[in-house]
Structure 1
C-alpha cells in the first residue's frame, strides 16, 4: 500500500494516512499504519531485526491526512510530551451537513466514551467520566446543504470533531454513527488531517507538515482553491510551537 512520505530524518517520520487504514493494529488484523511503515522502513533502509517506530497520535480509521511518528524512543517521549503540553498543533478540514449558525466559534464540551460501542456522548457541562473537549472552527465555504469547515483541535478526545460538530447540529458527511443522513457516492467520513506542527524532538525548531484532501467523495464538491484555503485557515501556532491559549 503506497503511503506518501512528507518528511523523514533520523528522529521523525511524517506521512499521509490513507482513509480506511487503521492507525495501529487491532483485533481485526486489517492493515495498520504502524505495521506498514515499520515494514517500509525495514525494506528501504535494509534494517536487520525489529524496527522501532513510535505512535505519537492517532487518526480514526475513516480519516485521512497528516500523521507523525517517532523513529527513536527518545523522540517518541519528547513528541508525546508535546502532545500532552499542547505544543502539538493539529488542524483539519471537514464537510458537514447544514451550516453552523455562527461563522467562527470555539466549542467547549465534555466527552465520555463508551468503549463497548466505540461511540462518545457529548455534554454541555462536566459529567462523570467525561473529559473536556475544546476545538475551534471556521466556515470556509457553503454549497447548498453542505459546508466546508476548518477545525483546529485544542484537545484530542476520541471522535471529538465528529461528536462536537454533530452536537451543534452539523454532523460530518458520511458519519452515520453521529447522525449524518446517507449521501449518494459517499464512502468515507468527510474529515481530513491537513496539518501538524510540533517542535522537533532534537533541534526544538518548529516543523510543520501539510496535506490537502484528494478530489474524491465529499472533497469533489469543492475546488482545489477552496480546499487549500480551508486547510490553512486555522493553521495558527505560536512561534515557540504552542497554541496561543495553551497553559
Structure 2
C-alpha cells in the first residue's frame, strides 16, 4: 500500500485522472476496476472515479508495487490490460503466436508499448506464469521475428532453456519455415528456387539483390511453388532455405514479381490496382525436424504447426478455395 497527500498543484483533479498520472503503468480499465473495488481510498474510504480531489486529501492505493515503476521498454507489458494474442500452440516451455499484420515484434523508436513481445509478457504475467520480480536473469523472448506488415507464426520462449535450444535449432536450420505470398504476374517457371546475394542498406532499411557475391553481401535462397493464378496475381508457397532480412520481398521483386501491396519493394501502379496496404505475405507453416537432441523441446520433433489459409486475408479474398 502506498499513501499520497494531495497538494495544491493536484487539487481539483478527478480521482481517475490523477491516478492515471500518479501510476502511469496502470492500465486505465484496471484503474477503474480498482476504484470500484475500493482499492483506491480517499481519506480512508472508497470513492467515485469522478470525485474532485481537495488539498490535504489522503489517498491510499492498494496496488502492486510494479505499477509504480518508471515506464520503460522493459516494463511496458504492465500497460497491456487485455493481451491480444492468437495462440496456435503453447506448452510449459514456449508458445507460438499467429501475429497480425501491423503489429511490431519488438519495440522501435516510435512504439514500445503495443508490440507482440509486450502482449506475450502481459499474457504470461496475468496468468501468473512469469513476473520480472521472480526472474532477474530471464524474461520471455521471441525466437524469431517477422516484419511489421507481415503476418504469421512467431515462436516465443517462456524459459531460458527453451530459448537457448530454439535459437540453436533455428541457427542449425532444424526448423523449416514456409510462407504464402501473393505476387504480381505469373511465375515462370511455376516452381523453382530464387538465389542471389543480399546487401542491406542500414540507413534505408532496405536490401538489394545481386547475382554475384559482393562485399558485405549474404547469400540468400528461397524455394517456391505456384499454388494458384488469379486476376494478374499468383499465390506462391515459399520455403526459406536461408533467413535474410526482407529475403522473400526483395528476391521476388528482383525477379520482376513484387509482392502485392509492398510499399518498399513493389511498384506503385501494382499497389494502386490491388488497393492493399502492406505486403501480402504470411508465415503460415513451421515444421520441427530435430536430427540432434532437443532437450525439453524434444516433444516437438516431427510436428508441424500451420495457419489455415482461409484465415489469411489475401488468400481468402484473392484465391478463395485454394488448396495448400
Fold similarity call, TM over 0.5 = yes
Q: Which runs of 5+ in 2 are unaligned?
A: 1-82
- Structure 1 residues 2 and 203 mapped into 2: Cα distance closer, same or farther (>3 Å)? closer
Partner of 1:195: 285
RMSD of aligned residue pairs (Cα, Å): 1.8
Determine which structure has the larger strand proportion and give its number.
Answer: 1
Partner of 1:18: 100
- Deviation, structure 1 residue 127: 0.7
Task: Choose 202-211 or 184-193, whichever is displaced more.
Answer: 202-211
Instruction: Say whether 1:61 aligns with 2:148.
Output: yes
Which digits, 9 at most, give the CA deviation of each residue in 1:57-111, with x for residues without a partner?
1100000011111111111111111111110110000001111111110121110
Which digits, 9 at most, give the CA deviation of each residue in 1:111-161, with x for residues without a partner?
011111110000111111010101100010001311111100011100000
- Deviation, structure 1 residue 184: 4.2
After superposition, residues 206-221 of structure 1 pair within 5 angstroms as: 206-213=302-309, 214=311, 216-217=313-314, 219-221=316-318
After superposition, residues 94-243 of structure 1 pair within 5 angstroms as: 94-180=181-267, 181-182=270-271, 183-198=273-288, 199=290, 202-204=296-298, 205-213=301-309, 214=311, 216-217=313-314, 219-223=316-320, 225-226=321-322, 229-230=323-324
* Alpha-carbon separation, structure 2, partners of 1:155 and 1:49: 34
Q: Is the Cα contact below 8 Å between 2:142 and 2:154 reproduced in 1?
A: no
Q: How many residues are matched?
A: 227
Q: What's the TM-score, normalizing by structure 1?
A: 0.86
* Alpha-carbon separation, structure 2, partners of 1:158 and 1:144: 29
* Alpha-carbon separation, structure 1, partners of 2:218 and 2:103: 27
Higher relative contact order, chain-length normalized (CA < 8 Å, sep 6+): 1
